[in-house]
Amino acid sequence: MSHDASAGGTALLVLADGTTFEGEAIGASPPAGVSGGEVVFTTAMAGYQEIITDPSYAGQVVAFTYPHIGNYGVNAADMESARPGCRGVVLRDLTRRRSSWRSSEDLGDFLVRTGTPGIAGIDTRRLTRHIREAGAMPCAFGTADPEVLRAAAAAEPGTSGIDLVAGVTTPEPYTAGDGPLRVVAYDFGIKATILRHLGVFATVEVVPASTPAADVLARQPDGVFLSNGPGDPATLGYAIEAVREVLESGVPTFGICLGHQLLGAALGGTTYKLAFGHHGGNHPVRRLRDGTVEITSQNHNFAVVDVPGTEVTHVNLNDGVVEGIRCTDRPAFGVQHHPEAGPGPHDASYLFGEFADLMLGSE
């Protein structure tokens, strides 16, 4: 992608069903004036930089429901990965003047520099209502002719049945944190904030998604962490098999988001795609052991159900989706939401402490 313009004139967003929105090109200029992916909406009111750089958005175009994006600029500390994970962004209004002592760059300039295309001036309320009714779907956007964009939207494959993890996982192992416990973390698209939380109590060796369970267990970890990540868990047979072997070993295991889905699949549960997913920092989840309602950060299109040998620990109050499971016969649990937030509330951050307790044998 060329990095030559933060605003490229009139542009269109075309959904796979033909629905069309008019706007203005922002960010990087894509080849032939066309970008695409599966469009989803996020209800987060802040944290746009963390969202854009979250690898779990691989293959997707993120539409922000909050109307003003870019108010406080961007900075190096809020990166969740080295580069943006999404295919592009859809905004109502890109703020032209940032205002924050932490900022080092305008969002528009950041999009250009990182090769991320976008479209602004979109009626995101209308777009969100349409996705809620019709479901998340492929799209194309840019400055190309309408016919070209319609054809591109129709040709986009979406995220079902595609291994998106292979494109975001680390190519080589690396270490993060300096805590006393030893954790091996599978990188299916891990966020920097997760590593900061784990690093408080563990020295974390992050390994590629395709690492065999035998290699992980040979490191003699106190625990194994299964990270968040993009796409369809059913395509990750190699990961499901590795998780199954880790569970059979009895090593304490904790999964978040995609890691939670892989945990469920390894135990014989069913994974399925939600109509438009959960994306945002304000989703209510009930903790079943005591009825506490936690406001959570979420980013997923798939979910798990009917997992043998587990009890459901958390439930989404918006639609009843399983938000947490715990094994009844081995030291393993997972949650669908993001207890590390980044962005979002910190109501669920205690779950990292529960993982530490599990490794210490105090649960």
Report which of 337, 160, 303, 184 is spatially closest to residue 253, judged by C-alpha positions. Answer: 184
Catalytic residue among 86, 139, 257, 327: 257
Is 245 an active-site residue? no
257 catalytic, yes or no?
yes
Q: What is the DSSP letter of 29?
A: B
Cα three-residue angle 208-189-267, rounded to 5 degrees = 75
Burial (0-12, 13-18, 19+ Cβ within 10 Å), 305: middle
Q: Is 311 known to be catalytic?
A: no
User: SS3 of 197, please?
Assistant: helix
Q: Which is it for the CA torsion 257, 259, 262, 263, positive or negative?
A: negative
Paired residues of 199 in beta bridges: none
DSSP 296-312: EEEEEEEEEE--TTEEE
Of residues 260, 278, 314, 338, which has the active-site annotation?
Answer: 338
Nearest to 121 by CA among 138, 141, 136, 148: 141
Q: Judge whether 317 and 284 are in contact, CB under 8 Å.
A: yes
Residue 200 phi, psi (nearest 5): -65, -40
State the DSSP string of 121-146: S--HHHHHHHHHHH-SEEEEEESS-H
Which residues does 30 contact at the CB level (< 8 Å), separation at least 6? Answer: 1, 117, 142
DSSP tag of 165: G
CA dist 250 and 197 (Å) reads: 23
Q: Which residues are catalytic?
A: 257, 338, 340
